[in-house]
Structure 1
Amino acid sequence: MLKQPNWKLSATEIDDLVAAYESGMPIAHLSSQFEMHRQTVRFHPKRRGVVLRSETPALTTVQIDEVAELYATGLSTGKIGGQFSVSAGTVRKALRAREVRLRPPRDERPQNPEAFTSYLLVATPSMSQ
């Protein structure tokens, strides 16, 4: 089995890697560019004191309040995510953290609009007060 050689980056290369990471370059891209494992790429900015993007929340508490309000109006997680430049999954995660009852997926929702309206009133009691 052929192993990949273990070589170290020069100080200049580490500076370039950290600068690229801070400018928003994805770790996967840097891993290919510098020909090293993703974990090794993550190590360099972290060692320099850079807060990794995966360790920062995608939404602030104020934004999560807005997300909850928009969701209560019936807007989909995908549309809400588009407004905040995050994925629908990130929106769902934020709503679950706030203990908001999520609507069932579209194909599982009742077809009768009146039944759906009553579901919204039950799902979001704090918003209807």
Structure 2
Amino acid sequence: MNDGIEARGELEHMKIRKALHPIREGVRTYLPPSIFFFTNEEKMSFCKVLSKVRVLDGYSTNLARCVNVNEKKIYGLNNHDHHGSACPTNLAIRRVLPKPITLVLPELSAIFRLLCRKKES
């Protein structure tokens, strides 16, 4: 999903979602933050929650080891770690994102789990 000047310009052209239209001031163009944008405080809160998550052995990697709260970054996750960490990250996101987004996350996670599961024989 792209969220750049071109995508926002298309929203403006279609005359939808006025709150997301680019703001032009002289030669500069600004993009207002979208609903899923994390402020620095929200990033810090998200990372703090993830750094304290404990999961069963073999379920996922140790998320606390992959989170740097001071830098507000997550690093070192492998592809299979993303599937196992979906539930803890959903819980952490609920604390920082608006309710309309967090209501959709469990449904999306369920869809991706179905798509990524092993084929039953």
Task: State TM-score, norm by structure 2.
Answer: 0.29
Higher RCO, 1 vs 2 (CA within 8 Å, ≥6 residues apart): 2
Greater C-alpha Rg: 1
Task: State TM-score, norm by structure 1.
Answer: 0.28
Higher helix share: 1
